[in-house]
Amino acid sequence: MTTRPNNLDSYWMPFTANKQFKKDPRMLVSADGMYYTSDDGRQIMDTAAGLWCVNAGHNRPKIREAVANQVGELDYCPSFQFGHPKAFELANQVAELFPEGMNHVFFTNSGSESVDTALKIALAYQRTIGQGTRTRLIGRERGYHGTGFGGITVGGLVKNRMYFGSLLTGADHLPHTHNLAKNAFSKGCPEHGAELANELETIVALHDASNIAAVIVEPMAGSTGVLMPPKGYLQKLREICTKYGILLIFDEVITAFGRLGTATASDYFGVKPDIITCAKGLTNGVVPMGGVVVADYIYDTMVEKADSPIELFHGYTYSGHPIAAAAGLATLETYREEGLFERANDLAPYWEHALHQLKDEKNVIDIRNIGLVGAIELEPMAGKRGYDAMVEAYKQGLMIRVTGDILAFSPPFIIEKGEIDQIMDTMRRVLNTID
């Protein structure tokens, strides 16, 4: 087992309270199935699938072997002007899983890169069809689209934006849909708020549609604390985008690959966007990889009408990396063989019931759920309550995710009902231990 290094100073940890962490580290040294092992030898249940990515659980044999074999077979292949079979095969399989008529995949290495790629494709497409004035990008308050400049520009989390200057120009934001006064303790999608999609009409009225390239939203917003779309909201957004020739991008970095019990959230909600971003569950988190899946008409138009042999001046050294592609293929095989999306779907009612049992616990102001996702919102305390819950849960053997004072749960799909009960029992104790 790896021992704790003497010096934790050099590693600048992302989205982490570095000073706090380094005083009292939570160090994980191995993982298998539903559990991490900490460096003090405890089993810690993974209630978050890592960071929403380890959908099939840890240390899955097919993925482990595929990665190990690939290193010996083809460790790297240039991504520009050369290809290798597994990247093509993975694109085919992703296209098969994603909505009909979306059969083209651009590979990236993360969700953030997927978002920036999707925004760039939207701008380039509008220009290709002679709509070069369409440059504005519309995001949403409380949206999370990763940490690239494109992503934080359309994103709506103030701390992720306020330190970083003027961002990209020409962005607007739809209002967020979180409304506890009307929707607290909703199971699945809330009843109230579909009309908030009409705010897009206001933005169109302000700028004119001829200046707007795309709208990007998470069909279910994860990072901001788990916000489900109000019933009918996504349908309305789709209608307005279609009416005005605005591309609709679904950021499915969290929701793609089974999180709601279907391959995509687009499937789950029955709404088809023009572009879908994904990452995380594509490789079960084992190797970094993301993808942008585009409608056929976008790819066909761009390839047919390009004014130069290279149709899109964009890409990454590691786009379609062989190790990531091998991990992706083995991941999709694992999902298929074990019927894991169906399993997530089958577990969803049990999950919902168990989670809502905590509604009368101390400081709980909302509980919400969809698919194999759940959130417990606590009476706000500027993030301290959430942080304390995370630290206490870790002491009691659970790894949980927090955003401010909202606790988010998104376990691997291999979770057993007994383990769902165990999460709720532990959380009850945690909530009663902290202030």
Which residues within the stretch 293-322 sit at the binding site for ligand PXG (CB under 6 A)? none
* Contact partner at residue 316 from ligand PLP, ligand PXG, none, CB < 5 to 8 Å by partner kind: ligand PLP
* Contact partner at residue 173 from ligand PXG, ligand PLP, none, CB < 5 to 8 Å by partner kind: none
* Contact partner at residue 317 from ligand PLP, ligand PXG, none, CB < 5 to 8 Å by partner kind: ligand PLP
If the CB atoms of residues 21 and 316 are measured against ligand PLP, the closer one turns out to be 316
Binds ligand PXG (CB under 6 A): choice among 401, 404, 413, 420: 401
If the CB atoms of residues 11 and 76 are measured against ligand PLP, the closer one turns out to be 76
If the CB atoms of residues 111 and 386 are measured against ligand PXG, the closer one turns out to be 111
Which residues within the stretch 316-345 sit at the binding site for ligand PLP (CB under 6 A)? 316-318
Q: Two tokens at 82?
A: 């050369």
Exposure string of 315-335, with b = 16+ CB inside 10 Å and e = fewer, is ebebbbbbbbbbbbbbbbebb
Binds ligand PXG (CB under 6 A): choice among 38, 103, 112, 128: 112
* Residue in 58, 40, 44, 36 with CA at minimum distance from that of residue 3: 40
> How many CA atoms, within 13 angstroms, populate the side-chain half-sphere of residue 15?
11
In whole angstroms, how close is the CB of 319 to ligand PLP at the nearest point? 8
C-alpha–C-alpha distance, residues 134 and 342, integer Å: 40
User: Between the CA atoms of 224, 228, 423 and 51, what dihedral angle is there, to the nearest 10 degrees?
Assistant: -40
Mark the segment that binds ligand PXG (CB under 6 A) among 60-68, 76-84, 167-175, 218-226. 218-226
Which residues within the stretch 243-302 sit at the binding site for ligand PXG (CB under 6 A)? 251, 253-254, 279
Are residues 241 and 248 in contact, defined by beta-carbon separation less than 8 angstroms?
yes
Is there binding between residue 369 and ligand PXG (CB under 6 A)? no
Which residues within the stretch 130-189 sit at the binding site for ligand PXG (CB under 6 A)? 144-146
In whole angstroms, how close is the CB of 317 to ligand PLP at the nearest point? 3
Given the DSSP bridges, would you call strands 104-108 and 401-403 parallel, antiparallel or unpaired? unpaired
Mark the segment that binds ligand PLP (CB under 6 A) among 15-23, 169-177, 311-319, 413-421. 311-319
Mark the segment that binds ligand PXG (CB under 6 A) among 106-114, 169-177, 228-236, 334-342. 106-114
In whole angstroms, how close is the CB of 67 to ligand PLP at the nearest point? 20
If the CB atoms of residues 210 and 317 are measured against ligand PLP, the closer one turns out to be 317
Backbone dihedral angles phi then psi of residue 301, each to the nearest 5 degrees: -65, -45
* Residue in 290, 250, 284, 243 with CA at minimum distance from that of residue 267: 250
* Residue in 223, 220, 217 with CA at minimum distance from that of residue 199: 217
* Contact partner at residue 294 from ligand PLP, ligand PXG, none, CB < 5 to 8 Å by partner kind: none
In whole angstroms, how close is the CB of 150 to ligand PLP at the nearest point? 14
In whole angstroms, how close is the CB of 90 to ligand PLP at the nearest point? 19
In whole angstroms, how close is the CB of 390 to ligand PXG at the nearest point? 11
If the CB atoms of residues 254 and 330 are measured against ligand PXG, the closer one turns out to be 254
In whole angstroms, how close is the CB of 21 to ligand PXG at the nearest point? 15
Which residues within the stretch 41-60 sit at the binding site for ligand PXG (CB under 6 A)? 51-52
In whole angstroms, how close is the CB of 142 to ligand PXG at the nearest point? 11
In whole angstroms, how close is the CB of 313 to ligand PLP at the nearest point? 13
* Contact partner at residue 198 from ligand PLP, ligand PXG, none, CB < 5 to 8 Å by partner kind: none
Q: Two tokens at 295?
A: 């409608």
Where does this chain bind ligand PXG (CB under 6 A)? 51-52, 110-112, 115, 144-146, 218, 222-223, 251, 253-254, 279, 401, 403, 408
Where does this chain bind ligand PLP (CB under 6 A)? 316-318
